[in-house]
Amino acid sequence: MATRVFFFNRLNDGVTAADYEQWVVDVDYPYARSLPSILSYEVTPNSGALDGFGAQLDYDYLEVIDVTSMEEYGADLADAADFFADWSSYVDQSRSAAVFGGIIE
């Protein structure tokens, strides 16, 4: 069963949306989409909450990643220290969250 991973990202103070989005297009998408365990990957800005569905969530971007399995995804990322160092220059890990679960088919 494929697994879906969600990253709820807050940008670091001083990082602009334009800079982050350019990095996503130039660096993040090509790298992530080259990994064999990633079936699909998209980043979406948080533009607001729907009326009637509560308060604005406290994140700037949502990453949605479909992976073959968490084990294969983890193995693909085992040697990604340089990538994650670059990523963390944009994303505030202390104010972000990640969750995953199987896809109901």
Residue 54 confidence (pLDDT) above 70: no
Overall number of domains in the chain? 1
Assess contact for 38 and 65: CB atoms under 8 A: yes
Q: What is the pLDDT of residue 55?
A: 64
Q: What is the pLDDT of residue 81?
A: 94
Sign of CA dihedral 70, 28, 33, 103: positive
92 Cα distance to chain centroid: 12
Q: 62-105 pLDDT, tens per residue?
A: 999 999 999 999 999 999 999 999 999 999 988 889 999 999 88
Which of 50, 49, 37, 43 has its CA nearest to residue 2? 37
Q: pLDDT tens, 2-48?
A: 899 999 999 999 999 999 999 999 999 999 999 999 999 999 999 87
Q: Phi-psi bin for 52: left (phi > 0), alpha (psi -120 to 50), beta? A: left
Range of the domain at 20: 3-102
| CATH number where 36 lies | 3.30.70.100
